[in-house]
Structure 1
Amino acid sequence: MQIELRKGLALYPGTFNAVVAPEKVLITAINSNADLQRFLFLYLGGNYSRILSGVNRQSKNFDVRRGFTAHQLLTMLREAAHTVVFIEHDPTLFDQAMNMLEPLAGTLKDLSRDSLVVLYTPVADRTFLALARRADRFIEFIPIEEDRHPIRTSRLMRQCGLRLSGQRSLEVS
């Protein structure tokens, strides 16, 4: 059982993974893996979720729990007995509980001995990075910006002798 984030990049059981990526990447990874429906999947969220509405939850093995405090999140993690534990990071849980970061990070690491643990956020913040210190893998998707100066690029290509006006074929004589 694995979750493939993109071709050649998969998450495996027995690991604690910290993932920073756009919402679309995780939604696609979860929805495109039909194998996940055979395993116990626990989704843990906080006060709000960015991806839960996009996740296909037809499986009977897909449990959703929400914690409104860091203490509730810690309790849910200690009680978890799922094959996959997916935590969508919510920094508001730690507004008044910064002292909970180390116990939570330790619990995530302990839980990963028997499960695939994924701590996810679209944008890393101080609390996410504190939790991710104990992760086996830290994965960050960085969007590639498109060229902002297409005119300049075209001019440079013409100066180098390259043509931009479509495709040409060689004539056979």
Structure 2
Amino acid sequence: MQIEIRKGLALQPGTYSAVIAPEKVMVSALNSNADLQRFLFLYIGGNYSRILSGIQRSSTNFEVRRAFTSHQLLTMLREAGHTVVFVEHDPSLFDGAANTLEPVAGALKEAGRESLVILYTPAMDRTFSALARRADRYIEIVADGAEGQPVRAARGMRQYGLRPAGQRTLEVR
């Protein structure tokens, strides 16, 4: 089982992936994968969600949980026994609780040993960056979303011929 975000770019079990992508791209990737109906899928959102209403949830294996604090998120990650754990990043969970960033990052990494763990955000921020440091894969998709647009930065994706994290390309328009 894998989730294909773009043609040739798939997320696989046993990994923790940090993904920055437009909302439409992520919703499409989740909705177009029929295999997700067969597996235990845990969606963890924060105080608000940008994509949950767009995800088709006809399967009884799709569980939604909401974390209001970073401590609740940490508990949910430690208790997760699902095949896919999808965390929609909410930076407000870490307001006044910056000391929980490292334990949550560790819990994401640990959960990724047994499951496909995806930490998702449509836009980078400091807390996402701190959580993504422990990721096996870091994927950022260009915001204009045109099919065939390159992935801007990735770590752990050399098998796809992508550039390492930190390297940026200047685009002339």
TM over 0.5: yes
Larger-gyration structure (1/2):
1
Matches within 5 A, 1:122-141: 122-141=122-141
Which AA in structure 2 matches 1:86? F
Over the aligned positions, Cα root-mean-square deviation in angstroms equals 1.2
Match of 1:38 in 2: 38
Contact 2:86 2:119 in 1 (8 A): yes
How many equivalent pairs are there?
146
Determine which structure has the larger helix proportion and give its number. Answer: 1
Mind listing any 5+ residue stretches in structure 1 that lack a counterpart? 147-173
Match of 2:71 in 1: 71
Which AA in structure 1 matches 2:138? F
Matches within 5 A, 1:13-24: 13-24=13-24
Q: TM-score, normalised by structure 1?
A: 0.83
**Alpha-carbon separation, structure 2, partners of 1:105 and 1:65:** 18
Which is further off, 137-146 or 8-17? Answer: 137-146
Poorly superposed stretches of 4+, deviation over 4 Å? none
Deviations 1:90-133 (A, max 9, x none): 00000110000000000100110100000000001000000000
Residue 127 of structure 1 aligns to a residue whose secondary structure is helix
1:144 Cα deviation from its structure 2 partner:
4.7
Residue 72 of structure 1 aligns to a residue whose secondary structure is helix
Contact 2:22 2:145 in 1 (8 A): no
1:145 Cα deviation from its structure 2 partner:
9.3
Match of 1:167 in 2: none
Contact 2:43 2:87 in 1 (8 A): yes
Identical pairs, percent: 73
Match of 1:3 in 2: 3
Matches within 5 A, 1:114-153: 114-144=114-144
Which AA in structure 2 matches 1:82? H
Mind listing any 5+ residue stretches in structure 2 that lack a counterpart? 147-173
